[in-house]
Amino acid sequence: MSVAFLGPRGTNSEEAALIYGGDDAEFVAVPSIPALVSAVETGLADVAVLPIENSIEGPISTTLDLLIHETGLMVRAEVVVPIRHVMVTVPGATLDGIATVVSHPQGLAQCRRFLERFLPHAEQVAWLSTAGAVKEVVDGGDPTKAAIGPMRAHELYCGQILARDIQDIRGNLTRFVVLANEDAPPTGNDKTAIGFTVKENVPGILFRTFQPFAERNIQLTKIESRPIKGVLGLYVFLLDFEGHRLDPEVAQVLEELGEMVKELKVFGSFPRYPLDQFQHLFETQALL
């Protein structure tokens, strides 16, 4: 099996790919999230691992829009990776000498508090990936630049760590989805992801679309929306819920929902990732 991930090596996406693919897979680094989809569609890889949401910054809009508008690939699995950011620069650099911080926009956003408190005047520069930012800073040799990225990037590209665990929240997790030509068969512990648009924007329409789930005691695990593109005020509603699309009760709900809404797209059914292993990260974390 070949697994495409958002490169270069050292990204959190590579870690998610390693978790999913294991020791026997071949790994293909690609430069962007849209390229991940194309890698599977063109046969360059069997599956692709894409970030879809972060526990600090929320949904990854690029991935959601690809699923909604641009691909027929299906979600075959999900992988959750703890995100622990470090600040890397060249040997000999000091924190008070840093004038520019480079990282993926998500990395910069997830470390907002650290940057505001310690480097409030530093320029923040967006990069295609966290690992790429680390490599750029280390290779560049400029002591006034630092990168935010995962520990794995530091291990691969070296450099000097100025600070560790600089993410805003200790329990920082990113959920990745694995896209393939087919989704996964039922396991008895599954989730399904769908998107739909409503026929008309009237009061109570979302209540009516959610009602079949409640009547069959099907738990919704995520609800969000994305613009349909091109018309202001109209949205695609995205749901994740427990169960497999082939389960009889889920199939009935999808049939009812399909008759009720304007368009319905099933993104796939896949095994639920065990989140209990991360519970310790949230035990001392307050909401507000």
Q: Which of 176, 241, 267, 270 is catalytic?
A: 176
Query: Catalytic pick from 11, 89, 130, 174?
Result: 174
DSSP string, 225-239: EEE-SSSTT-EEEEE
- The two beta strands, 100-103 and 123-126, are parallel
Residue found under tokens 């699995």: 77
Q: Please indicate whether residue 176 is annotated as part of the active site.
A: yes
- What's the CA gap between 174 and 178, in Å, rounded? 13
Active site residue 174: yes
Answer for the pair 153, 88: CB distance below 8 angstroms, yes or no.
yes
CA dist 26 and 5 (Å) reads 11
Tokens standing for residue 16:
């998610």
The pair of three-digit structure tokens given for residue 268, joined into one six-digit string: 């796939």
**Helices (H) then strands (E): counts for the chain:** 9, 15
Separation between Cα atoms, residue 211 and residue 188, nearest integer Å: 23
Bridge partner residues of 50 (DSSP): 177
146-161 b/e (C-beta count within 10 Å ≥ 16 → b): bbbbbbbbbebbebbe
Taking the chain, what is the end-to-end CA distance rounded to the nearest angstrom?
44
Joined tokens for residue 269? 């059914």
What are the phi and psi torsion angles at 192 (to 5°)?
A: -130, 140
The residues facing 262 across adjacent strands are none
Whether 6 and 129 have beta carbons less than 8 Å apart is answered as yes
Q: Rounded to whole angstroms, how far apart are CA atoms 146 and 100?
A: 6
What amino acid positions are annotated as catalytic residues? 174, 176
